[in-house]
Amino acid sequence: MAEKTSTILYLSDITGKPVRGASGEVIGRLADLVVRMTETETFPPVTGAVVTTGRQGRLRFYIHAAALADMSSSGARLRTDSVNLAPFARRDSEVLLHKDVLDKQLVDIDGRRVIRVNDVTLTHDPVSTMYRVAGVDVSAASLVDRLGLGIVARNMQREIIPWDSVQFFASEVPVVKLKLSYDRLARLHPVDLAEIITDLGYQQGGEMIAAIADLQGDEVAADTVEELDTELQAAVLGTLNVEDAADILEEMEPDEAADLLSELTVEQVEDLLQAMDAEDAADVAELLRYDEDTAGGLMSNDFIALVPATTVGEALAQIRREDLPEFIYYIYLVDADESLTGVVSLRTLLISADDTPLANLVGDPALLITAQIDEAANDVAEQMVRYNLLAMPVIEDGKLVGIIHAHDALERLLPDEAQRDMFGTNR
């Protein structure tokens, strides 16, 4: 079984141990190590140590890394007997390993999972004499060892993840400014990112979403937000400034954005709608009018509607020009009064001659089954399942105002995520 080796120094082995001057006199105890974290530091260097002395260790002072001659499980040794006892005050880019990293949750990027740091490993470069953070130990062995059960820990497997494979969060150290790299994390799939955010919580989740938007764009950030449950969506966006949150909302499907906004206060909703693009805001505001337990609360107002005389060629040309909905199953035919007159499947459209009027392609009568705007959401969902519909039109005052997607209907009937997975309805 793996054990601690002489080439790796463990944070838990050195904290609390004596710090001796060059002459061997004890000047205090090692309370923490200070490291510099920046976008360019793959393995953060130790820039100094925090030492405590005096009654109950109340006096805390800083020793620069250049004064550290050696560190080991027996403690630290300095190159000098002279130290500055001025109280320690951290600077920007500085992180305390014991206070800010140990026992905190980070992300194992390669493993696409949230991990708990049970210990921190360090390496020493004999040429530069610099200590650097090498990785984190996430095994139970390191936790058992910290409890003073080293004999038991020797027979347990260790799991050390290199530091360049983990993501630390600036929100763990709000008292200083940290500029970190999120490049590798931001490249994960939105589904994986959403699962990580769910395990982490909203504060780090907001930090992740901001980084994703900056590195991958608002669309990828929106895709990630849409994978979260509604309450967490609201909490995560609540950590962002209004402009950034509005940019992400604009990239979300209108019904998803409306569901999210329904979790916020009236003041927050007004601020976000005002910051959004006027057309996008209008679409979302329209959906907020309806009770969530009705067809209106379940629908999306992002769909394609054309007049029946439109030919297949004209329809395809218009579809190519438009900002398309995320899901397109059907083309809806409406008259001058916006009343629904027919439905054409996208498949039928693609295999038909360009000069064929859409009115000639109306077929399956089940596609004309509609829901009234105030109809109970559960009843509509059950009807969609009964007729195996991918989408159902929603009517208000005789006009087509929206459609309900199958995945939203099934989410209503199968609120449990595991059940939706069984039916393949999760996006």
Lowest mean pLDDT segment, chosen from 162-166, 175-179, 188-192: 175-179
Inter-CA distances, 295 with 268, 384, 401, Å:
25, 12, 11
**Residue 6: is its pLDDT beyond 70?**
no
pLDDT at 206: 95
Residue 95 has what pLDDT? 96
Residues in CB range of 421: below 8 A, 6 or more apart:
none
% of the chain at pLDDT higher than 70: 93
Q: Where are the alpha helices (DSSP H) in 227-369?
A: 230-237, 242-251, 254-261, 266-275, 278-287, 295-298, 312-321, 346-351
Q: How many helices (H) and strands (E) does the chain have?
A: 18, 20
In this model, does residue 394 exceed pLDDT 50?
yes
Q: How far apart are CA 131 and CA 125, in angstroms?
A: 6
The rounded mean pLDDT for the chain is 89
Mean pLDDT, to the nearest integer, of 182-199? 96
Please answer whether residues 121 and 11 qualify as being in contact, where contact means their C-beta atoms are separated by less than 8 angstroms: yes
> Mean of the pLDDT values across residues 358-380?
92
56 — pLDDT class (breaks 50, 70, 90): low
User: Using 50, 70 and 90 to split pLDDT, how confident is the model at 417?
Assistant: low
User: Model confidence at 364, in pLDDT bands (50, 70, 90)?
Assistant: confident
Span 323-344, pLDDT tens digits = 777 778 899 999 999 999 999 9
Please tell me the least confidently modeled range out of 177-181, 329-333, 398-402, 419-423: 419-423
* pLDDT in the model for residue 422: 41
Q: What is the pLDDT of residues 67-110, one digit of tens each?
A: 999 999 899 999 998 888 888 888 999 999 999 999 999 999 99
Q: Where in the chain is the domain with CATH 3.10.580.10?
A: 305-422
CATH 3.90.1010.10 fits 182-289, yes or no: no
Confidence of residue 426 (pLDDT cuts 50, 70, 90): very low
**Residue 121 · residue 9 · CB < 8 Å:** yes
Q: Is the distance from CB of 414 to CB of 420 less than 8 angstroms?
A: yes
- Look at residue 326 in the predicted model and tell me its pLDDT: 75
Per-residue DSSP letters for 351-411?
A: HS-TT-BGGGG---GGGG--EETTSBHHHHHHHHHHTT-SEEEEEETTEEEEEEEHHHHHH
State how far the Cα of 209 lies from the Cα of 396, in Å rounded to an integer: 37
**What is the pLDDT averaged over residues 310-328?**
87
Phi and psi at residue 120, to the nearest 5°: -120, 135
Per-range mean pLDDT, top range of 45-59, 116-130, 235-249: 235-249
Query: For the structural domain made of 305-422, what CATH number should be given?
Result: 3.10.580.10
- The boundaries of every CATH 1.25.60.10 domain in the chain are 182-289
CB atoms within 10 A of CB 54: 11
3 state SS for 17-78: CEEECCCCCEEEEEEEEEEECCCCCCCCEEEEEEEEECHHHCEEEEEEHHHEEEEECCEEEE
Residue range 226-239: mean pLDDT, rounded: 93
> What tens digit of pLDDT does each residue of 104-153 get?
999 999 999 999 999 999 999 877 778 999 999 999 878 777 776 555 55
The reported pLDDT for the residue numbered 410 is 86
Please give the pLDDT value at position 286. 92
Of 352, 343, 362, 360, whose CA–CA distance to 313 is shortest?
352
Among left, alpha and beta (phi > 0; psi -120 to 50; other), residue 299 is beta
Q: Cα 187 to the chain's mean position, in Å? A: 12
Mean pLDDT check: name the lowest of 145-159, 247-261, 291-305, 320-334: 145-159
Strand order of the sheet with strand 371-372? 371-372, 391-396, 399-405
Do the Cβ atoms of 311 and 358 come closer than 8 Å?
A: yes
Q: Is the pLDDT of residue 177 over 50?
A: yes
Which pLDDT value is given to residue 155? 67
pLDDT confidence of residue 58: 78
Structure tokens at 18: 């004596």
CATH superfamily, domain 9-167, is PRC-barrel domain (2.30.30.240)
Mean pLDDT to the nearest integer, 243-263: 94
